[in-house]
Amino acid sequence: MSDTRITLVRGDITTQEVDAVVNAANSGLMGGGGVDGAILRAGGSAQQSARRALRDRIGSLPAGHAAASDAGDMAARWVIHVVGPVYAKGEDRSAVLASCYREALHVADELDVRTVAFPAVSAGIYGWPMASAADIAIQTVAGTPSKVDEARFVLFSDEAFSEFSRALSELQ
Predicted confidence at residue 32, as pLDDT, reads: 79
The answer to whether 3 is a known catalytic residue is no
Helix residue ranges per DSSP H, 93-144: 94-110, 130-143
Which burial class, exposed, middle or buried, applies to 33 when counting CB atoms under 10 A from its CB (0-12, 13-18, 19+)? exposed
pLDDT tens digits for range 118-155: 999 999 989 999 999 999 999 999 999 999 999 999 99
Q: Give the active site residue among 36, 73, 149, 158.
A: 36
Domain boundaries, the chain: 5-171
Over residues 38-48, the mean pLDDT reads: 95
pLDDT tens digits for range 4-38: 999 999 999 999 999 999 999 999 998 778 899 99
Task: Out of 2.60.120.10, 3.90.1150.10, 3.40.220.10, 2.60.120.260, select the CATH number for domain 5-171.
Answer: 3.40.220.10
What's the pTM value of the predicted model, to 2 decimals? 0.96
